[in-house]
Amino acid sequence: MISGSFRFLCLLPVWLILGNTLPVVAQNPAVAPMIRLIETGKLPEARLPTVLGMICKRGDEADLAFVFRKATDPETLSSEMQLHTLELLAQAARDRNLKPSGELNGLKDLLQQANSANNLAMQKQVIELIGLWRVRELAGELAMSLQAGVTPDLAEPLITTLATLQGRDATTLILPLTRPGQAPRVRKQAIATLATLDLELASTAAADYLVEARAGDSLNSLLQPFLARKTGPEQLGKAISSRTISPDIAKLALRALLAAGRNDEALSAPLARAAGLENSLQPLSPEEMARLQQEILTHGDAARGEQVFRREDLNCYKCHALGQAGGKIGPDLSPIGGTSPLDYLVNSLLLPSQAIKEAYKTLLVVDVEGLSFTGVVVDRDQDRLILRDAQGKERTIAIADIEFEKEGESLMPAGLTKFLTRAELIDLVRFLSALGKDSGYTMSSEPTIYRWRVYEDTPGKVAVELFDDDSVRNMLFEYAPDRWRPMYSLASGALPLADAGKLAHSPVIFAYAEFRVNVPGHVQLKLNDPQGITLWLDNTRVAAENWENLPVTEGHHRLLFRIDTNKFRNEHLRAVLLKGSAPAAEYSLVVGE
């Protein structure tokens, strides 16, 4: 017989465990101290995003469950912090193929919370997580929402997630959304998702879309799902061959294909026929190369060639930089004229994969779902691979999901010269041959601003003489910040105001540049002409007499220019940011795309 006291001692550990109201602390040594710190309530709120991010990067399923519990508690986290935490969990699912252990139906409560608050960002993130974590019990609720009718912003993630949860059973729900009458965004997303379920049906729907497409329609997102699948270009090309597509739309589709770094014969051939373009891409014979080089030397014009390089349809700045301003996919072309012979430059345009440099070779990866990805390797470790594609976008692939990989071709699209006349090709090569060598085409040795953002459609309220700082800040950065467009200085370092004016649709142009300060002090701004210029450092207007000695603190800063071209006396703006008087700041201009 067990005595009462002994029975009490036996039950004591159980009582202690069941009676403990503190959350269970993770035993994973990589993150346990961080979780304990959060549970004490002593972690400063400003550090919480960083610590949660580290847990999601290093923790296991149990640790992610702790993070998920935090995300589902609106009493302890603001809606903004909830959203950020859900984004961290989604990143862990994408990068590490990990999801929280235990019950995941808290997503339903989060979705109801987001719906009640009409919080679009939260709605989209929760819907994505339902798919990433394969929470199939919520599929019916999502399907009802889609059938009831939602905005395109919500329809896109709903379509994707339902396909993930239901597989081919979702075809009957998605197929009607690919047909005319739907918003173009919804229609393209439905086609893209259908491609994961039934490639033949999706090809038919995409070809029908091209028949009805209009000029100005972005076709990149329409083609990408087919380019990502082994037989996708062939299936889509077959569907296109049996339809009549307008030459202009076929050219737009070809540009989208080439901009993706692809020139698949099965797809490019029917598009080229529809566009009325010759599709053959053959190396030049020695005689043809010699004639072309002579024409470049005799008739090529570097100034005209620079305008070809800057053309929006060719999108050269997406991959290449001048003066470190532009894309990082391909090499910075600033010195190329001084280091490369003409025949190399010609071949790099006509057949780029034959002239590719070692550092810019690509990797072709096929994952376990049969999706293919091509890009330059940005980073790789034991958990994930990061590729940068022809659009400059970085894609993360879990190492465990990679089934096959091999060295790929150049991301620079073969066939880009189809859209150039022979004279334009000659001028373009002449421009490239001048870079880093000829006067006016050598990058400035001074810290010159090459990377700009120009505001599209200058608001009338800030174009008039009597404008105020609050209106500038509110209208340009608060109300419509998505209207800033990238623009780059010429090789000489001068920003062409004619180009900026076309974007602004106004004689008053707003443009900004950015720089980072490592050591606070003073900087000096030098312009080729101060007339008609109003300047703000961050949100503070700066009088012209103070431009030569601007005090700056450590961190990121913005120089905003208001340029009244009726008063500015030059066709170009050239801006140089130098060190100021003692103490001089240590800084660097923001470069890249």
pLDDT by residue, tens only, the chain of 593 residues: 444 443 333 433 333 333 333 444 446 787 888 888 888 888 887 788 888 989 988 999 999 999 999 888 877 788 888 888 999 999 999 888 899 999 898 899 999 888 888 888 899 999 999 999 999 998 888 888 888 777 888 888 999 999 999 988 999 999 999 998 888 989 999 999 999 999 999 999 999 999 998 877 888 889 999 988 888 999 999 999 999 998 888 888 888 887 776 777 889 889 988 888 765 567 888 998 999 999 999 999 999 999 999 987 777 887 788 888 888 777 888 888 888 899 889 888 887 766 666 666 778 888 877 777 777 788 888 888 888 877 677 888 888 888 888 776 666 666 677 777 788 889 999 999 999 999 989 888 899 999 999 999 888 888 887 788 888 888 788 777 778 999 999 999 999 999 999 999 999 999 999 999 999 999 999 999 999 999 999 989 999 999 999 999 999 999 999 999 999 989 999 999 999 989 999 999 998 87
- Cβ proximity of 427 and 478 under 8 Å: no
**pTM for this entry:** 0.61
- Structure confidence at residue 280 (pLDDT): 57
pLDDT at residue 175, as a whole number: 92
Indicate the helix (H) or strand (E) that contains 68. Answer: helix 61-71
Q: Domain locations in the chain?
A: 65-274, 286-342+415-434, 362-407, 451-589
* Element containing residue 510 per DSSP (H, E): strand 508-519
For domain 451-589, give its CATH number from 1.25.40, 2.60.120, 2.40.330, 2.40.30: 2.60.120
CB 282, CB 415: distance < 8 Å: no
Please report the pLDDT score of residue 131 as a whole number.
Answer: 92
CATH homologous superfamily of 286-342+415-434? Cytochrome c-like domain (1.10.760.10)
Query: 251, 402 in Cβ contact below 8 A?
Result: no
pLDDT (0 to 100) of residue 357: 66
User: Assign residue 199 a region: left if phi > 0, alpha if psi is -120 to 50, beta otherwise?
Assistant: alpha
Greatest Cα pair distance, the chain, in angstroms, is: 111
Q: What is the DSSP letter of 382?
A: S
| In contact, 62 and 96? CB cutoff 8 Å | no
Contact 206, 239 (CB under 8 A): yes
Say if residue 520 is exposed, middle or buried (CB neighbours under 10 Å; 0-12, 13-18, 19+).
Answer: middle
The class of domain 65-274 in CATH terms is mainly alpha
The domain over range 362-407 is classified in CATH as 3.30.450.30: no
